[in-house]
Structure 1
C-alpha cells in the first residue's frame, strides 16, 4: 500500500518555478528484492521532495539528512549505515550513478525491520550518528492527528520553508499531502521580500515557524502586511517567549486568524501537544493538551512529562544492526522535560532533566534562567555551563551589565560563579533551535 496517494490531479506542490499536481510529481524508482535503506540529502526543491514521496511509497526505509550537514559527518553516516541508494549527492566513494541517484556497488544483505519507515537525526547537522526510528504507523497516525486539530483540507496551501530533514518540516509535508492539500516549497527566508511575494502570489493559507522565526517576524513588519489568505500560524521547535506568544495571539484574534502554539519531539513523529487557538491568550506559557489519540501525564516522583500514543518512535538507531530492531518503546515516551499541569489539564514545561548545573550546592535550571532573563531583557539569550560556572551568552553588549545585575539579584551568585559572553551570533541549527553543544565549546 502506498503511503501517499499520487494519482490525484489536484495541485500538490508549487515552487517559484511552477506547479505540480500529485500525478505530475517526478517519480523515482527503487527496485530491490529486499527492503533497503534510501539516504536523502535534503533541500527544499521539487526533486528532493518528489524523491521523498517516491521513497516512502517504495516501502523501503528512508533516512533524511540536511544538505547543511558537514561532509565528515555525512561520510561517517554513509559508512555506518551503508544505504543502498543516495539521493542529493553527486559522488560518493563506493557508489555509482544510476539515473537520478547513486547506487551502492557492493552487494550487501541488510536486515531492516518491515515496519521501519523513517530515520531522522537527533542532533541536527552536527554531532552523533544517532537516529530516531519511526514506523509507517508512527508517521501516519501523527499526520492524521495534525490534520484533525489543524483542520487541514484540500484547499489548504502551506508555505514550507522549514527543512524537510527536520521533523517539523517533515510533518508539514506528511499532513498536507495525506490531506490532499498543497505545499508552497521554498528555500527562502522570512526576512526576504521574495518570500512574501511568493506567499502572496500563491495565496498561502498557513505559515509554520520555530521561535527564531517568530522573533524575526516581529521585527520585519509582519503585523502590517496585507495577507488576507493567510489564516493559520503554527509554532513549534522550542519555547517561544510569552511576550511573543501574546503578541501573535492578539494579532491573530484581531485579524481573524488562528495561532497554534505546539510542542513535540522527533521521537513522537513529532507532535505531542497543542493549545487550541481560542485558549492561547489564557495559556501563554503552556504547551497545551495532548493531540488527538495521545495522552499526557506526569511521573509522580520526578515530574517528568510522559506521553503515550501511536506516534511514539520504535526506538533509536546508532548502527546498521539497529535497523532490524522492532518497537522498543511500545507507545510510551519519557520526554526528558519536567512539567506541571493545571486544573484544566494544560501542561507547562518548567525545565529539562539534563539542562541543570549545580553551583555551590544550588541546582540551577538553565532553561529557567533563560526564560527569566528574557522576560526582563528583550534580547536573544542562551545559557550553558558546568558545575563550576554558569555562562550566559548574548548578541548585544549593551545588556551585559543589566544581565549581571539580574543574575546577582535572582540567584545571589558571586561574580566568580558566572560569566557573560557576547557573541556575534548565538549558534543555531538550521531549524532555528539553539545549538547548546557548540555554544558550550565557544564559551568555555
Structure 2
C-alpha cells in the first residue's frame, strides 16, 4: 500500500497552483533529502494548514523519518518542555525566537547541535499528541502500517475515488484532519489546502472554485453551520459530509442527514481515536435514519467487543461496557519521553478505548459515554457528556455547552446565554437528576474556548472554575 496514490493532487488555494504526478513526487523527494540530513532522532514539526507543512509530513513518511505533528499555536515554553523530554533532532518551522540550549537556528528550523540521539523504532512513522485538553502531552506511536491501513480503509468505506476533492477543513496536526489528507491522497484524489477554516469566507470560495466533493467537521462546526443556515445545494459537487471528534446531538444528525439526502448526498457519522490512526467505525449514510445514535460497524479489518467489569469480553448485543477495538491501525503504544520512541509494538493491535457502549445484532456500535468524563454532585457520579445533552434538552435555548467537574458539583459553561436563563437551567438539571440545583453551576460565557481541532478546550475551562 502507498500513501500517495496514482493521480493524487495537492491544490494550494492561496496560489492556485497544483502539485501532482512527477511534480508532487519531486517536491516530496527534495524535502525528504533535507530531512535525512538532520540529526538522528524524532523530528518535531509545527504543522500549519499550508503546502510546506503537508510536504514535510509526506517527505518524513516516505523517507522513514519519525515525525511528531505539533500545533503551531503551542506556546514556546510548552514546546521547549517537550523538547527536553524527547530531544528531537530538529524542530521544523520553529518559532522566530532564540532556540533553547543545545539547538541552533538554521533554515527556519531549530536543529540539535548534538548529532547523537535516541534512534526511533524502525516501524515508527508518526507521533500524535493525545492529551489535548486534559493535561501533560504524551504521544501515540503510530506505525507506517497503521497509518496506511487506516487511510485505505477510510477510502474504501467512504467510496473515495480519483475525482474526489476534499478541503482542509481541519488542521493536519489533528488526527481527524490528517485522516482526511491521508485517505484522499491514498485514493488518488485531491486535497485543497485552504487555511482560513470552515467559518471563513475564503474557505467556501475555495470549496466552490475547486469543486470540493466532501467536507469533514466536528460537532462544534455543525452547530455553527446550523446557525449560518448551511445549504449543501449551494455547492452542487458537495456530496459527502463526515462527522467525528465527539458526539453530535441527535437533532443535528437528523437535520444534516435530511439536508444531504435532499441534495442527493450523505452524512457519515464516524468514530475514532488518535490511538487508532484514527478511525475505527463509519455509519453508512443510507442507514443513518434506521439506526439513530449508532456510529456504524468497524472499518474493514477491524472488530469491536465489549468488556465487562470482570474483564471478560463479549460481542453479544445490547450489553454495555468498555469498547475494545482490534485492528491493524492500532498504535504501537505511548511515548512519554525519548526512550519510549525506541520501543516496539506493545499493544498487539488491541485498543482499550476508555469509551462506554454496546453493539446491536448486526455489530453496529453505539457509544454511550466516556469512562473518564465523570463528575460528582454531592457524592453522586454523573456523566459529563450526558449532562451536556441534558442541558441542551431543557428547551431554554442552550445549544453550545461544556461541563467540567468542580469539587462536589459540576460547572456548565453555556455560550451566549443570559444569567437568568442559566439559573433556570440549574433548577431544571436538579429536577431532572433529583439533586439540589446548587450542584449544577450553569454559567454564561461569551464563547466556549476551542482547541485547533475544533474540540472543546476543557483544560482552559477547568482553569476558570
Structure 2 counterpart of 1:434, from 456, 460, 465:
456
TM-score (norm 2): 0.90
- CA 383–9 in structure 1, closer or farther in 2 if over 3 Å, else same: closer
Structure 2 unmatched runs, 5+: 310-319
Deviation at 1:52, TM superposition (A): 0.9
Q: Find out whether 1:131 has 2:130 as its counterpart.
A: no
Matched residue, 1:279: 287
Give matches, 1:352-371, under 5 Å.
352-371=370-389
RMSD: 2.1
Q: Find out whether 1:382 has 2:402 as its counterpart.
A: yes
* Cα distance between partner residues in 1 of 2:400 and 2:436: 24
Matched residue, 2:19: 20
Deviation at 1:109, TM superposition (A): 3.5
Q: Find out whether 1:39 has 2:44 as its counterpart.
A: yes
**Larger displacement relative to structure 2 (102-111 or 112-121):** 102-111
TM-score (norm 1): 0.94
- On the 8 A contact 1:9/1:23 being kept in 2, the answer is no
* Cα distance between partner residues in 2 of 1:126 and 1:66: 15
**Larger displacement relative to structure 2 (275-284 or 91-100):** 91-100
* Cα distance between partner residues in 2 of 1:440 and 1:122: 18
**Larger displacement relative to structure 2 (176-185 or 373-382):** 373-382
Give matches, 1:119-198, under 5 Å.
119-124=127-132, 127-198=135-206
- On the 8 A contact 1:190/1:213 being kept in 2, the answer is yes
Deviation at 1:126, TM superposition (A): 8.3
* Cα distance between partner residues in 2 of 1:49 and 1:182: 13
Give matches, 1:411-422, under 5 Å.
411-422=433-444
- CA 16–344 in structure 1, closer or farther in 2 if over 3 Å, else same: same
**Larger displacement relative to structure 2 (239-248 or 93-102):** 93-102
- CA 97–3 in structure 1, closer or farther in 2 if over 3 Å, else same: farther
Structure 1 unmatched runs, 5+: none
Matched residue, 1:85: 90
Give matches, 1:284-323, under 5 Å.
284-301=292-309, 303-323=321-341
**Larger displacement relative to structure 2 (95-104 or 406-415):** 95-104
Q: Tell me, what secondary structure is at the counterpart of 1:402?
A: helix
- On the 8 A contact 1:379/1:396 being kept in 2, the answer is no
Deviation at 1:147, TM superposition (A): 0.9
* Cα distance between partner residues in 2 of 1:386 and 1:338: 23
- On the 8 A contact 1:340/1:347 being kept in 2, the answer is yes
Give matches, 1:212-361, under 5 Å.
212-223=220-231, 225-301=233-309, 303-361=321-379
* Cα distance between partner residues in 1 of 2:140 and 2:176: 14
Structure 1 counterpart of 2:125, from 107, 117, 132:
117
**Larger displacement relative to structure 2 (263-272 or 371-380):** 371-380
Q: Tell me, what secondary structure is at the counterpart of 1:296?
A: strand
Deviation at 1:23, TM superposition (A): 2.8
* Cα distance between partner residues in 2 of 1:110 and 1:232: 43
- On the 8 A contact 1:37/1:84 being kept in 2, the answer is yes
Matched residue, 2:314: none
* Cα distance between partner residues in 1 of 2:441 and 2:456: 19
**Larger displacement relative to structure 2 (328-337 or 107-116):** 107-116
Deviation at 1:406, TM superposition (A): 1.7
Deviation at 1:165, TM superposition (A): 0.5
Q: Tell me, what secondary structure is at the counterpart of 2:386?
A: helix
Deviation at 1:345, TM superposition (A): 2.4
Q: Tell me, what secondary structure is at the counterpart of 2:149?
A: helix
CA deviations 1:314-362 (Å, max 9, x no partner) are 0101100000111111111111011122233222222111111233342
- CA 287–265 in structure 1, closer or farther in 2 if over 3 Å, else same: same
- CA 397–227 in structure 1, closer or farther in 2 if over 3 Å, else same: closer
Q: Tell me, what secondary structure is at the counterpart of 1:204?
A: coil
* Cα distance between partner residues in 2 of 1:199 and 1:222: 13
* Cα distance between partner residues in 2 of 1:151 and 1:104: 43
